[in-house]
């Protein structure tokens, strides 16, 4: 399928950018039934939405000659949730409409408002901006909306999530009633439906998202690990995949700062994006990713919205998203425009059920697996190195001269080994995860635990307790070796385990110290053997006899009683005495 029924100048611009055929969303907005109508479009991020709505409003902007119509006020207004997305949209519309004479003005927070006012005063055909800055220009009288022919709300669901409802309402209420409204949203919550009912007329619903999957070009993986191992797992994932560009999502700016510093210290070329960074810092960070001077971006949800990095192939959810919509928005940074991407969720053991429920709600089939080990990473490094060195290349005379000098002083084997060493030394060292650290110590015999102390954890099968991570947790928190931990019995809501009596007191004291990585996991000593022992009761004496079961009270009626059945017994009145 090719682009048809579009102005010649736009067709030439698309061909110059290498567009041979429209994406599904672009083809849908060019259908005859969509011409001149309000649209509600559901399409994934990276599916070519910007070009889609640029083509959809061409009839409102261009005259019969293919040139833009000359007016005193803007003809189109594009509202985006973030500065990065607004700047990206502006760049796309500039090359798409460049030959038509259209002027595109961008109004976003963090930029010089005086320069924006001057650009608006010189005249603009298309205005692109964020809700807050656009409303500021509107209230100052520098943005005239009376001549608008079309309004586009890009990623409208994100704008409502970010609290821009009041700004959007103020902007839309100031536009002409006969204008077209094109609403683009990856998801369609009730708030978006209500917005469409209020500001659209006879809108055509277009959806290019398949209901049985979250994103067709993204491979989802989930890894259940100990909370204390998350940072090490991030390092190993980055080393294993060696993605051209990767983005790591954290929940808070403090966590972004910490993880960014940790990765930089280990030798990764990383940048950070969060609310504490200025627009100038954000621009430099994104440019470093585009120039390949940095390969890893650590960001919060809000800071990463609107980022478009064509080379991004790996998304790691370092902290799990709050719901399925955030999961899809985060993951949608990769797998764009037909390219394949990978999204990985790092899931603390105790939160696996929640993540499984989230994935079911989003109709995402994620593969559960273990994080890559150091040995797997070294094997992958070897394969990549061999593939790189054995790839045919054009060798210059200067390179051959240096090679001959090396061969005159060293054997080919020494030169090859030195080359491998240089390559490996430039790579960050993989981490040894608890589950795969050195061969396990020999299993202690039952005779070693004839005298042992039993303890109880407040987690069980309902919290996805598993010996594979409970044992490393006990060793780390209690500062003991594996040979000092005996039987581990996991019940529905608790886990019972034994520790050698000689180290029991030290184990309990160490374990009870606060550990933010394993918040919520508590321990208590257990009396006796686990089959008969329970946590020591606080309200009973040790030698108290068990209370017999209470019998059900039966309601009876006595023939000689004056008590009415069903009435509470009261103090019996004395009969009147005659004087």
Is the predicted pLDDT of residue 62 greater than 50, yes or no?
yes
- Between 42 and 519, the higher pLDDT residue: 42
Mean confidence (pLDDT) of the chain: 82
Across the range 345-363, mean pLDDT stands at 88
Q: 2.60.40.420, 3.30.70.2280, 1.10.10.10, 1.20.58.100: which CATH number matches 440-526? A: 3.30.70.2280
CATH fold label, 8-207:
Rossmann fold (3.40.50)
Residue 457: what are its φ and ψ, rounded to 5°? -100, 150
pLDDT digits 0-9 by tens, 195-248? 888 899 888 998 876 544 445 578 999 998 888 889 999 999 999 999 999 999
Q: How far is CA 557 from CA 236, 283, 488, 572, in A?
A: 77, 87, 56, 16
pLDDT (0 to 100) of residue 210: 56
218-375 and 440-526: identical CATH topology: no
Domain extents in the chain: 8-207, 218-375, 440-526
Shortest CA distance to 126 belongs to which of 88, 77, 87?
77
The pLDDT confidence band at residue 46, using thresholds 50, 70 and 90, is: low
Backbone angles phi, psi at 326, to 5 degrees: -65, -40
94-144 pLDDT, tens digit per residue, is 999 999 999 999 999 878 899 999 999 999 999 999 999 999 999 999 999
| Model pLDDT, residue 319 | 93
Distances (CA, A) of 436 to 305, 352, 374, 402: 36, 21, 8, 43
Q: What is the pLDDT of residues 18-29, one digit of tens each?
A: 888 888 888 888
CATH architecture classification, 218-375: 3-Layer(aba) Sandwich (3.40)
pLDDT 10s digits, 275-294: 788 778 888 888 899 888 99
> What integer pLDDT is reported at residue 274 of this predicted model?
86
Segment 375-393, tens digit of pLDDT:
999 999 999 988 888 888 8
Q: How far apart, in whole angstroms, are the C-alpha atoms of residue 329 and residue 85? A: 13
**Better-scored residue on pLDDT, 2 or 22:** 22
Please report the pLDDT score of residue 143 as a whole number. Answer: 93
Q: Give, in order, the Cα–Cα distances in Å from 29 to each of 180, 208, 368, 516.
A: 13, 11, 38, 51
Express each pLDDT in 522-559 by its tens digit.
Answer: 888 987 776 544 444 333 333 344 444 444 444 444 43
pLDDT higher at 103 or 66: 103
CB contact set of 520 (below 8 Å; sequence gap of 6+)? 350, 458
pLDDT tens per residue across span 465-508: 888 788 888 888 888 878 888 888 999 889 999 998 888 888 88
Q: How many CB atoms lie within 10 A of CB 409?
A: 8
User: What value does the mean pLDDT take over residues 250-255?
Assistant: 90
């Amino acid at each position: 399928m090719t682009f048809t029924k579009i102005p010649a100048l736009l067709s030439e611009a698309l061909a110059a950018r290498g567009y041979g055929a429209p994406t599904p969303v672009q083809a849908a907005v060019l259908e005859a039934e969509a011409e001149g109508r309000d649209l509600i479009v559901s399409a994934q991020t990276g599916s070519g939405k910007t070009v889609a709505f640029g083509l959809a409003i061409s009839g409102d902007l261009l005259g019969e000659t293919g040139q833009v119509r000359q007016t005193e006020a803007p003809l189109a207004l594009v509202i985006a949730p973030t500065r990065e997305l607004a700047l990206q949209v502006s760049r796309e519309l500039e090359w798409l409409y460049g030959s038509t004479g259209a002027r595109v003005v961008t109004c976003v927070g963090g930029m010089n408002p005086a320069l924006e006012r001057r650009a608006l005063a010189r005249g603009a055909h298309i205005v692109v901006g964020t809700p807050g800055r656009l409303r500021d220009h509107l209230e100052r009288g520098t943005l005239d909306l009376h001549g608008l022919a079309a309004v586009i709300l890009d990623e409208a669901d994100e704008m409502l999530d970010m609290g821009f409802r009041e700004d959007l309402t103020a902007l839309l209420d100031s536009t002409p009633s006969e204008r077209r409204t094109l609403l683009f949203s990856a998801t369609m919550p009730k708030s978006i439906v209500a917005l469409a009912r209020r500001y659209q007329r006879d809108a055509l619903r277009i959806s290019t998202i398949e209901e049985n999957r979250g994103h067709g070009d993204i491979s989802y993986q989930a890894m259940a690990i100990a909370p204390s191992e998350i940072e090490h797992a991030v390092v190993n994932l980055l080393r294993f995949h060696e993605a051209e560009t990767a983005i790591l999502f954290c929940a808070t700016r403090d966590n972004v700062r910490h993880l960014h510093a940790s990765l930089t210290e280990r030798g990764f070329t990383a940048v950070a994006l969060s609310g504490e960074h200025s627009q100038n810092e954000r621009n430099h960070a994104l440019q470093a990713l585009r120039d390949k001077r940095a390969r890893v971006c650590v960001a919060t949800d809000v800071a990463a919205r609107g980022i478009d990095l064509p080379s991004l192939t790996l998304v790691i959810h370092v902290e799990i998203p709050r719901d399925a919509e955030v999961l899809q928005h985060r993951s949608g940074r990769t797998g764009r425009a037909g390219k394949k991407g990978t999204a990985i969720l790092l899931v603390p053991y105790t939160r696996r059920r929640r993540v499984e429920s989230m994935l079911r709600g989003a109709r995402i089939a994620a593969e559960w697996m273990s994080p890559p080990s150091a040995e797997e990473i070294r094997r992958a490094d070897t394969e990549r190195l061999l593939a790189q060195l054995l790839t045919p290349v054009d060798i210059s005379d200067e390179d051959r001269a240096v090679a001959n000098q090396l061969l005159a002083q060293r054997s080919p084997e020494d030169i090859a080994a030195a080359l491998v060493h240089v390559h490996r030394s430039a790579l960050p060292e993989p981490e040894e995860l608890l589950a795969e650290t050195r061969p396990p110590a020999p299993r202690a015999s039952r005779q070693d635990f004839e005298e042992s102390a039993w303890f109880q954890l407040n987690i069980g099968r309902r919290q996805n307790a598993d010996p594979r991570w409970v044992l490393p947790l006990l060793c780390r928190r209690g500062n003991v070796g594996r040979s000092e931990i005996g039987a581990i019995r996991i019940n529905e809501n608790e886990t019972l385990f034994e520790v050698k009596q000689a180290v029991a007191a030290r184990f309990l004291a160490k374990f009870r110290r606060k550990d933010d990585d394993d918040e919520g996991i508590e321990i208590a000593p257990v009396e006796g053997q686990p089959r008969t022992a329970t946590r020591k009761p606080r309200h009973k004496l040790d030698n108290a006899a068990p209370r017999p079961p209470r019998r059900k009270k039966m309601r009876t009626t006595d023939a000689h009683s004056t008590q009415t059945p069903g009435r509470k017994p009261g103090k019996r009145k004395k009969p009147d005495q005659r004087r």
